Structure 1
Amino acid sequence: MANEKLSYDRKSAGPEGETDRIDIKDERSSGSASPEPSHEATLWERQRDPYLGKSERDVITDLEGLVQQYDLHDLKEELARGARYAYNRDDTDRLNPTEDERHWIAKEKSPAFKDKWAQTKMMYFVAFLCGSAAIVQGMDQTAVNGAQLGYFEDFNITNEWEQGLINGAPYLCSVLIGCWTSPVLNKYFGRRGTIWISCFVSIASGAWQGATFDKWQLFASRFVGGFAIGAKSSTTPAYAAECSPPRIRGALGSQWQMWTAFGIMLGFIASVAFYGIEVEGYPGLDWRLMLASTSIPPIFVCCMTFFAPESPRWLMSKERYREAFQSLCRLRQCHLHAARDLYDIHIRLMLEHELKPKTAWARATKLFSVPRNRRAAQSAFFVMLMQQFCGVNVIAYYSSAIFVDAGFTVQRALLASMGTGIINWLFAIPGILTIDTKGRRWLLLVTFPYMAACLFFTGFSFFIPEDRGDARIACVATGIYLFMVGYSPGMGPVPFTYSAESFPLAVRDTGMAFATATCWGFNFILALTWPALQTAFTTQGAFCWYAAWNLFGFVFTWFCLPETKARPLEELDAVFNIRTRDHFAYHLIKTPVIGKGHVGNNLADVAAVIEGRDVKGHV
């Protein structure tokens, strides 16, 4: 078998993620074994291909050391076949697969939709568990929408800043504490344990909110709920990704937004279902039941975690390889696939250990000091900011009050709010189907101006005189419903998907922690300021304020946000290595009327990378 020799010409090499250009020359010889490329020269490329520079003999030698280290002698033959399969997935005949293994190998390679989703029952159970955790998240967010109409009155909360503080309490806790405790919980309790703890906190918080007796106890009970929000939102998508095979990893990761939208809808339904329930001696029973109902879904999720396998990747990070193999055997259709994925995860963990800075301070420093990482952070923080400042959570938290201001009765306002939840869930489905075909930028560029127009329309609808109540009500409801139609496929799924894929391996955990904190931090600001914003700007001005933010989002996306659709890791390095001012200049030239419609020589290389025609390296 010919040996492969790779030589590299590295120009302007810098720290990981800063490489300007790498030219690869492929030479093959049938003589003696070629020397492996040096560690320093290949580290960047090995992020794309961790098997780079290894022969099959090297892989088997590595596996033998693994078997010896973790006392896996009884699994040696199975793991050896899996390692050989991981190294070369095309020539499977050399593995002498059984008929059952041949069947599942063919299924895995088949492009048919039904074969793609031919997974184990346990894999579907994990998907159901993660979807249920997302439902908990969504319901926690919107049960307050109808409940606030009651507890503001019962507790005499008239100050708009106090109203916003109480409604935004979970997100204040999340940005200050919840997002940063997630890595600690994951380290000591695993993915399943973190999901169980966060859902248990949701149960306790919901029950406490339903039993509060003054506004500050209500604030405290909602603040405690924020411990769960940050941990659950960062852990559950990771758990889904680490358990799923590559073919459905993207789909399972993006289901978080769809089922969060379903939970948001359930929160609105609970508000309608419990409205008007009164029992003598129990004041405010309706809004108490609305808040306490959020404790029901997490009970089921807590029970489900006991039957789900732990993340194989987490188990291997704790050197529990035997348990990881058992977990993979429950998640994959045959032991050959389980053994292959075990070795594949192992070699990628070794690469991550090699790349990842050892201290939290070093990871944070590298996130902002390396230009490639800094541009990824800029883009991720932007989409997280705009998920809030597009104005969606004004509707999630305050739509019932907005509908009452428009002239609805309380009961009709709750029903109208439920409609926004239904629309949000239904139109999240097209977003999941198009995010990998149309792209992230396309979804944002289409939906930002559309959402701005809807918010302007909604705000201006409040100029309709109150004596023409039916027209005013109809216009406000139409504007809000149409806004949700645009939000759900765009700013709904894009932010978490975009952020998760933008950061390189070495700083991915730290980058996502900062990105998630950005999301929940601006969520709190929106919840806190909306009542005061209405007072200061009027309802018309407050809606126009967020409409203007959508116009800003469109401009920033057009000029400064790189596309990440369908690009492997080495291409994203090239894309994020382009300076923001070069990206801006390229899109300025491509802008109709302003630009000339073509790219000049000085930006030809930038255009090549942006358009995906040449991704050899940074321009």
Structure 2
Amino acid sequence: MADSKVKSDADTSTGDLMSRIEKRVSSDHGTSEKGHVEHINLNKNVSAKIKNPLADLTPAQVLRDVEDFANEHQLMDIIPHLKKGALIARDPDNFETVEGMTDADITVINDETTHKWRHPWPLYFTIGLCSIGAAVQGWDQTGSNGANLSFPDALGIPEKGADKAKNQWLVGVLNAAPYISTAFIGCWLSDPLNKYWGRRGVIFISAIFCLLTPIGSAVAQTWPQLLVTRLLMGIGMGLKGSTIPIFCAENTPANVRGGLVMSWQLWTAFGIFLGTCANLAVKDTGAISWRLQLGSAFIPALPLTLGVFLCPESPRWYLKKGLIRKAYQSLCKLRNSELQAARDLYYIYTQIKLEDEIVGKGNYLTRFGELFTIPRVRRATLAAWTVMLAQQMCGINIVAFYSSTIFAQAGASVTAALFASFGFGLINFLFAFPAVFTIDTYGRRALLLFTFPQMAWTLLAAGFCFYIPEGQTAHLACISLFIFMFSAVYSVGEGPVPYAYSAEVFPLSHREVGMSFAVATCLFWAAVLGVTFPRMLEVMTPTGAFGFYAALNATAFVMIFFLVPETKQRTLEELDYVFAVPTRMHADYQVKKALPYWINRYMLRRKVELEPLYQFDHVATRT
């Protein structure tokens, strides 16, 4: 009953916050130098300003609004924290001057900059536990990778003989089955299930699917049985892939969001590594080796199933449902102090009100259509689609799915091919660590633009190494070297960015359906790679296949350069202003400002400054 009343109050609030802000700033003495308050169109932000919705209010106005907010949502018991927090959010650069700040308050706010990795254990537990779920996907990829060497013969679909071409396609479909199911079913269940079950409930459901289906794969007696279990696995992978990055992004402070949310990729890489270890461990078990390789993928799903409800629910999901008190309680577990929790609660609330003005609220089909019709949302959709498509265009999954097959074609024995795949998994995991510390420093966009050219030439080099005569030691050594280099640069950039980026770019109202679209895009093309690569190797040869994906890396670089804005160091709500900047304006800036700067600074070694595209709108200089 209490929750229902809070939700009702939120829905029928007579003192709408943003109406009060606009009215007071217009009527009070607080105006800009031009005599009016600047309005930023959140569908066409031609000024490229990132605006603090509290900056144009006087401290007195902020305090009055906080009192109204606390009265409406029965939060009077925390009003001292709310008042100080709102004033800090209004002018974060001068937080020490806020009335009532104690030494402890000043220390905890200072620590956000000086000790940015100092956070309470529930936050790290949430990120760590949920990211383990990513290991299921990585482990399954390498489980099927090793199983490819034996399961086709065991299930009566040999890749030799009269039906060679047909069987190659069938093996591709079996490998890609989870991704086909994810793209067409699993991802799209995320939005309606999140609405009713919350982030934790959906993650629990996904974990059950990911726990049981690998065991089903291990005991399959025919290829249709194997196909069904892998299709069911895709439902769990789709729910997990669409929800966990959102859950982590919504719980994490802006200054470390990239580093923590990208742990999804770190654990995917760890799952790939563990899968290669499992492949090696069971390689000599005879006819059941492929069953153990596929079945072992259930292991990382077990802790996720048991522990997800120990994590705090997303405070933004509570705010979306109108459960303001529960949102505050969740933030208290995820922040170092009640002051920070109150500040973030009020600031997120005001930004969400602004979001509602541009995107509104609609049903599932309406929200899906609005991914392409509302300008601010459409730009986020385009950027997320680009980075997710690029993750498959780069060709990483041809290696993740088929590295054992590739090394076998390079002349390696079964054992040598598995050891080479182990090396790929180890490098993929180890080189994911630097991204934890660089993604919030250099940014998502910079990491992408750095890594794609490196992936292009390493793939091309690996392809040309197949021309080295097969009997020579250099043949397998050089192919392995360049595949390992490709894996290393992928793990630093294109590996961690897409899921973290897609989870943060959509407004709260469209976050679930937007992430569903992004993950469906990614895993649909993963399925295409899985289905086509066995036949591509046969028709195009390894050199042709690797050259093809090298060209796609170059294409992805150009797309990212023009279509993907930077998101580092901004709250999820402040990104509304970033994606309100028209795509043409963003592209013009890259050509006319960013590219000449890069040439002058790094090629001609001139000392030049780059004029930033985005400007944070500071607090108005009014009392």
Q: Matched residues in 2 for 1:104 and 1:78: separation?
A: 13
The residue that corresponds to 2:400 in the other structure is: 396
The residue that corresponds to 2:584 in the other structure is: 578
Residue in structure 2 matching 1:262, options 247, 265, 270: 270
Deviation at 1:4, TM superposition (A): 2.5
Deviation at 1:61, TM superposition (A): 4.3
Q: Matched residues in 2 for 1:305 and 1:345: separation?
A: 24
Deviation at 1:93, TM superposition (A): 6.0
The residue that corresponds to 2:497 in the other structure is: 494
Residue in structure 1 matching 2:457, options 446, 453, 459: 453
Q: Matched residues in 2 for 1:374 and 1:186: separation?
A: 22
Deviation at 1:587, TM superposition (A): 8.4
**Pairing 1:362-511 to 2, within 5 Å after superposition:** 362-370=366-374, 373-468=377-472, 470-503=473-506, 507-511=510-514
Q: 1:362 to 1:57 in 2, by over 3 A?
A: farther
Q: 1:174 to 1:392 in 2, by over 3 A?
A: same
Q: 1:487 to 1:304 in 2, by over 3 A?
A: same
Deviation at 1:55, TM superposition (A): 4.2
The residue that corresponds to 2:164 in the other structure is: none
The residue that corresponds to 1:131 in the other structure is: 131
- Provide, for residues 451-493 of structure 1, a one-character-per-residue CA deviation record: whole Å limited to 9, x for no partner: 222222222222333333x332212211211211221112212
Deviation at 1:221, TM superposition (A): 0.5
- For the 8 Å contact 1:206–1:292, the answer to whether it is kept is yes
Q: 1:586 to 1:105 in 2, by over 3 A?
A: closer
Q: Which moved more, 1:115-124 or 1:441-450?
A: 441-450
Q: Matched residues in 2 for 1:91 and 1:588: separation?
A: 34
- For the 8 Å contact 2:245–2:500, the answer to whether it is kept is no
- Provide, for residues 354-402 of structure 1, a one-character-per-residue CA deviation record: whole Å limited to 9, x for no partner: 3323224444444323556545433432222121121110110000111
Q: Does 1:514 align with 2:517?
A: yes
Q: Matched residues in 1 for 2:563 and 2:532: separation?
A: 28
Q: 1:134 to 1:19 in 2, by over 3 A?
A: same
Residue in structure 1 matching 2:111, options 107, 111, 115: 107
Q: 1:329 to 1:447 in 2, by over 3 A?
A: closer
Q: Does 1:172 align with 2:175?
A: no
Q: Matched residues in 2 for 1:247 and 1:378: separation?
A: 24
Q: Matched residues in 2 for 1:518 and 1:8: separation?
A: 46
- Provide, for residues 567-604 of structure 1, a one-character-per-residue CA deviation record: whole Å limited to 9, x for no partner: 764763475442587468648995999xxx99xxxxxx
Q: Matched residues in 2 for 1:589 and 1:49: separation?
A: 30
The residue that corresponds to 2:348 in the other structure is: 345
Unaligned stretches of 5+ residues in structure 2: 1-27, 160-166, 618-623
Residue in structure 1 matching 2:257, options 242, 249, 252: 249
- Provide, for residues 92-112 of structure 1, a one-character-per-residue CA deviation record: whole Å limited to 9, x for no partner: 56553455444423423xx33
Q: Matched residues in 2 for 1:373 and 1:446: separation?
A: 27
The residue that corresponds to 2:334 in the other structure is: 331
Letter in 1 for 2:612: G
Q: Does 1:4 align with 2:30?
A: yes
The residue that corresponds to 1:156 in the other structure is: 156
TM-score normalized by structure 1? 0.82
- Provide, for residues 49-94 of structure 1, a one-character-per-residue CA deviation record: whole Å limited to 9, x for no partner: 2325444444444444444444445445554554454445434565
Q: Which moved more, 1:529-538 or 1:58-67?
A: 58-67
Q: 1:573 to 1:307 in 2, by over 3 A?
A: closer
- For the 8 Å contact 1:17–1:372, the answer to whether it is kept is yes
The residue that corresponds to 1:534 in the other structure is: 537
- Provide, for residues 542-569 of structure 1, a one-character-per-residue CA deviation record: whole Å limited to 9, x for no partner: 2221122123233444566555556764
Q: Secondary structure at the match of 1:454?
A: helix
Q: Which moved more, 1:573-582 or 1:355-364?
A: 573-582
- For the 8 Å contact 1:357–1:363, the answer to whether it is kept is no
Q: Does 1:550 align with 2:553?
A: yes
- Provide, for residues 486-535 of structure 1, a one-character-per-residue CA deviation record: whole Å limited to 9, x for no partner: 21112212323444455566655443332222111111100110011112
- For the 8 Å contact 1:407–1:466, the answer to whether it is kept is yes
- Provide, for residues 309-360 of structure 1, a one-character-per-residue CA deviation record: whole Å limited to 9, x for no partner: 2122222322333333322222222222222222223323333333323224
Q: Secondary structure at the match of 1:528?
A: helix
Q: Which moved more, 1:77-86 or 1:457-466?
A: 77-86
- For the 8 Å contact 2:246–2:504, the answer to whether it is kept is no
Q: Secondary structure at the match of 2:51?
A: coil
Q: 1:104 to 1:409 in 2, by over 3 A?
A: same
Q: Matched residues in 2 for 1:300 and 1:565: separation?
A: 31
The residue that corresponds to 2:189 in the other structure is: 181
The residue that corresponds to 2:281 in the other structure is: 273
Q: 1:214 to 1:432 in 2, by over 3 A?
A: same
Q: Secondary structure at the match of 1:358?
A: coil
**Pairing 1:351-362 to 2, within 5 Å after superposition:** 351-359=354-362, 360-362=364-366
Q: Secondary structure at the match of 1:333?
A: coil
Q: Percent identity?
A: 40
The residue that corresponds to 1:207 in the other structure is: 215
The residue that corresponds to 1:301 in the other structure is: 304
Q: Secondary structure at the match of 1:369?
A: coil
Q: Matched residues in 2 for 1:450 and 1:141: separation?
A: 24
Letter in 2 for 1:206: P
Letter in 1 for 2:405: A
- Provide, for residues 225-272 of structure 1, a one-character-per-residue CA deviation record: whole Å limited to 9, x for no partner: 111222212221222222223332232122222222112111111111
Q: Secondary structure at the match of 2:274?
A: helix
The residue that corresponds to 2:235 in the other structure is: 227
Q: Secondary structure at the match of 2:372?
A: helix
- For the 8 Å contact 1:60–1:80, the answer to whether it is kept is yes
**Pairing 1:79-118 to 2, within 5 Å after superposition:** 79-89=82-92, 90-92=94-96, 94-97=98-101, 100-108=104-112, 111-112=113-114, 115-118=115-118
The residue that corresponds to 1:30 in the other structure is: none
Q: Secondary structure at the match of 1:149?
A: coil
- For the 8 Å contact 2:143–2:276, the answer to whether it is kept is yes
Q: Secondary structure at the match of 1:466?
A: coil
Q: 1:6 to 1:501 in 2, by over 3 A?
A: farther
Q: Which moved more, 1:548-557 or 1:137-146?
A: 548-557
- Provide, for residues 392-418 of structure 1, a one-character-per-residue CA deviation record: whole Å limited to 9, x for no partner: 101100001111111111122111101
Letter in 2 for 1:178: G
The residue that corresponds to 1:311 in the other structure is: 314
- For the 8 Å contact 2:565–2:578, the answer to whether it is kept is no
Q: Matched residues in 1 for 2:526 and 2:181: separation?
A: 11
Q: Secondary structure at the match of 1:105?
A: helix
TM-score normalized by structure 2? 0.82
Q: 1:195 to 1:473 in 2, by over 3 A?
A: same
Q: Matched residues in 2 for 1:151 and 1:614: separation?
A: 54
Letter in 2 for 1:268: T
Q: 1:553 to 1:276 in 2, by over 3 A?
A: same
- For the 8 Å contact 1:139–1:267, the answer to whether it is kept is yes
Q: Matched residues in 2 for 1:224 and 1:251: separation?
A: 31
Q: 1:379 to 1:320 in 2, by over 3 A?
A: closer
- For the 8 Å contact 2:119–2:335, the answer to whether it is kept is yes
Q: Secondary structure at the match of 2:262?
A: helix
Q: Which moved more, 1:197-206 or 1:581-590?
A: 581-590
Letter in 1 for 2:518: A
Letter in 1 for 2:539: A
Q: Matched residues in 1 for 2:580 and 2:323: separation?
A: 36
The residue that corresponds to 1:601 in the other structure is: none
Letter in 2 for 1:127: I
Q: Alignment RMSD, CA only?
A: 3.5
Q: Matched residues in 1 for 2:545 and 2:372: separation?
A: 34
The residue that corresponds to 2:43 in the other structure is: 17
